[in-house]
Amino acid sequence: MVQPSRRRFLQITAATLGATAASAPWQPMTGPASAAAGPAATSGGVTTIPTFCEMCFWRCGGIAHLRDGKLWKFEGNPLDPQSMGRLCPRGTGAVGAYYDPDRLRQPLLRVGERGKEQWKAVSWDEALGFVAERMGRIKAAHGAESVALFNHVFGQRFFQHVLRSWGVINYAGASYAQCRGARDVGFQLTFGAGVGSPEPTDIKNTDCLVLIGSHLGENMHNSQVQEFAQAIARQVPIIVVDPRYSVAASKAKYWLPVKPGTDIALLLAWMNLLVTEGLYDKDFVARHGHGFEQFKAEIAGYTTAWAAEQTGVAAELIVAAGREFASHRPASIIHPGRRVNWYGDDSQRSRAVALLNALLGNWGRKGGLFLASGMKIAPYPLPKIADTGKPRADGGDGARYPFADEGITTSIRDATISGQPYPIKGWVVYSTNLLQALPNRQETLDAIQKLDLLVVCDTVPSEIAGYADVILPDTTFLERHDELLVGFGRTGWTSLRQPVVAPPHEQKPAWWIAKQLAEKLGIGASMPFKDMEEYLAWRIEKSGHSWDKFKREGVIMGEHQPITVEEGLTLSFDTPSGKVEFWSDQLAAKGFDPVPKYKPQAAAPAGHLRLITGRAPVHTFSRTQSNPLLQDLMPENEVWVNTATAARLGLTHRAYVRLKNQDGVVSNRVRVKATQRIREDCVYMVYGFGNTNPMLASAYLKGASAGALNTRYATDPLMGSTSIHGNFVSFVQEA
């Protein structure tokens, strides 16, 4: 095996992140005709192949380098808008995902009790035969709606297609109810459009950026972080609202160390400040606003003095920050955030963020929120999926949560436990570690005990895989084709994922697994192509592009369309009123607050501190802990505790402790980081550590799991998203 040395790896990372880094050495190939038919360019024994990264969901275009046929390094593709030629540390570390010693190698069938981790290695034929047979039994007894799919990452595409073609109607990803769902609903209710990914924040051209919780620089979404770094270099005023002095806060003109859970109070006071001082965009409101007078009356009482009491932030600081961002409108952004599921009132908080942006009149404006454009790529003529006419079990079609517009993981889990509105007996889990990602681990375990079938398709033995009946080893993204990425951004683009190395063992690509399963289920016709190369080439050539060129370059840019009013865009709003809804009749009609209201969060129980969470720059959730390159940079997480709190409780910096939450759940041991960079009333821990599956040997019990301490959660009544910051911990000192 060829692995870059640690020193070399750090050099690569530093080069990709450094502001002065030279552009990547890779150039689109213009070589001989024989090589031009393939994806690879070879020079001096080094072969380069473009493909897009899946170490997270930003999906940056990269170039894999092979030296003497062995995977050597992964760098940014300069043609790609998501990477702009540079990768973040996790992307650079993708090579470690390929060489990960803990990877699943062949299909495994459970032989012992569920969760006891006794397995036998079986052939793909046997594993998929087993899955198809169990699915058939569930369908015969309960109907196809009794099998649910939990999915994430790009390989999900054909699992979803095959299972839906078979009759599955319950499918969901944690990326909705445990992540960005509430944000998109808040914006949809206000502007008639969600935010989407990548977020169309024109940081590149902005004159002021407000980050509420969004911890860019720790959240490493690549092109956004690059634009953020440029904004800092341009000395654009940055305003950060965070109980923690985040990396972003360290670059800010104003840091507002808000008491956790009080952001809605701050947002209401800022709206009131802008309205009473006449700092908002009156023309935008007059032309595009609906219900402004009712809105104005509703927010009139929220003074900055009142907000100061609620948030713990000085009134002068609130006023100064508010006047600052208002003075730069419309080239001023209140960042919509991404993981907004904090307290269970998150769609209303996101709506408040949307409304504050509306007051700045930055919708569709240069330096504000641009309206992302895409490009047209012909769809492959897959057979249509029939409507089963059955109601979804997750209540995501409006029955339980009126404004939900995607499946809800936790509601499928509820239905599995209760058997209501009908039994759920099979779970197919593709690339999501539900034991970490969903709140209340015990509920997930209770649901698993009700199942007749639990299939997990993963690259490593994740915690959820430990409970599977059958484990299907996927290839890493570096070893497979996937569906095309047709991206929305300043200009639409299309990216290619193609294999750069062969799978090291018996692993198979997700599309192949889905296709073989379709055969076993008797619905082979749902995947009417020989392989992904045929499928992808058809879509690209049908759209008038060269497949060979695409394979060599990895990216096709679309035509630039107007994305701002400055470029000639005409604004329209897909809301019931056809306008920006300062007052929401549709919320009122369903019994919800038409303008967000502030409701204080429950106080911490005596002797406890609120647990909040976020990201580390070099890891993605629970998926990278066994990656040797990334583990080397950060083997475990720490619990951030204010220095004064640590002194009061007798906690020593760097010493191990355990955290005990309000329900008595005790964490794995974790080191204390005593720091002044966090308020005294909360502690902070990066999410994704404390893995409990011994098969994931290199990451086993390293650090503590914020997910496992998340036993108490509130559910957003508008759209079903579940909170993460509603738990409180005390410390158990290690002997």
Ligand X SMILES: Nc1nc2c(c(=O)[nH]1)N[C@H]1C(S)=C(S)[C@@H](COP(=O)(O)OP(=O)(O)OC[C@H]3O[C@@H](n4cnc5c(=O)[nH]c(N)nc54)[C@H](O)[C@@H]3O)O[C@H]1N2
Which position among 87, 555, 563, 639 is part of the footprint of ligand SF4 (CB under 6 A)?
87
Which position among 9, 59, 356, 708 is part of the footprint of ligand SF4 (CB under 6 A)?
59
Among ligand SF4, Mo ion, ligand X, none, what binds residue 242 when CB lies within 5 to 8 Å by partner kind?
A: ligand X
Residue ranges binding Mo ion (CB under 5 A): 179, 339
3 state DSSP class of 296:
helix
Min dist CB 544 to ligand X, Å, is 30
Min dist CB 159 to ligand X, Å, is 9
For every residue of 640-703, which 3-state class applies, written as one string? EEEHHHHHHHCCCCCCEEEEEECCCCECCCEEEEEECCECCCEEEEECCCCECCCCCHHHECCC
Min dist CB 211 to ligand SF4, Å, is 17
- Per DSSP, the chain holds a count of helices (H) and strands (E) of 24, 26
Chain-centre distance for alpha carbon 489: 17
Q: What is the DSSP letter of 281?
A: -
In angstroms, the Cα distances linking 159 to 62, 168, 390, 517, 622 are 25, 11, 20, 9, 22
- Return the sign of the alpha-carbon dihedral for residues 244, 176, 458, 72: negative
Min dist CB 463 to ligand X, Å, is 8
| Residues in 467-486 at the binding interface with ligand SF4, rule: CB under 6 A | none
3 state DSSP class of 603:
coil
53 binds ligand SF4 (CB under 6 A): yes
627 binds ligand SF4 (CB under 6 A): no
Of 477 and 731, nearer to ligand X (C-beta) is 477
Residue 216's Cβ-side half-sphere holds a number of Cα atoms within 13 Å equal to 29
460 binds ligand X (CB under 6 A): yes
Min dist CB 195 to ligand SF4, Å, is 17
Of 548 and 632, nearer to ligand X (C-beta) is 632
Which parts of 544-667 are beta strand (E)?
A: 555-557, 580-581, 609-614, 638-642, 656-661
Chain-centre distance for alpha carbon 151: 12
56 binds ligand SF4 (CB under 6 A): yes
Q: CA 491 to CA 560: how far, in whole Å?
A: 5
Q: CA 683 to CA 483: how far, in whole Å?
A: 40
Of 489 and 614, nearer to ligand X (C-beta) is 614
Q: Give me the 320-349 binding string for ligand X, x by CB under 6 A, dash otherwise.
A: -----------------xxx--x-------
Of 55 and 453, nearer to ligand SF4 (C-beta) is 55
Which position among 103, 110, 215, 552 is part of the footprint of ligand X (CB under 6 A)?
215
55 binds ligand SF4 (CB under 6 A): yes
Of 462 and 710, nearer to ligand SF4 (C-beta) is 462
Chain-centre distance for alpha carbon 509: 22
Min dist CB 84 to ligand SF4, Å, is 10
90 binds ligand SF4 (CB under 6 A): yes
Q: CA 92 to CA 65: how far, in whole Å?
A: 11
Min dist CB 288 to ligand X, Å, is 27
152 binds ligand SF4 (CB under 6 A): no
Q: What is the CA radius of gyration of the chain?
A: 25
Structure tokens at 118: 């006794």
Of 54 and 553, nearer to ligand SF4 (C-beta) is 54
Q: CA 634 to CA 135: how far, in whole Å?
A: 41
Q: CA 346 to CA 351: how far, in whole Å?
A: 8
Residues near ligand X, by CB under 6 A: 54, 56-57, 152-153, 155, 174-175, 178-180, 212-215, 219-221, 241-244, 246, 258, 260-261, 263, 337-339, 342, 430-433, 436-437, 457-460, 462, 474, 476-477, 612-615, 617, 619-623, 684, 687-688, 706-707, 710, 724-725
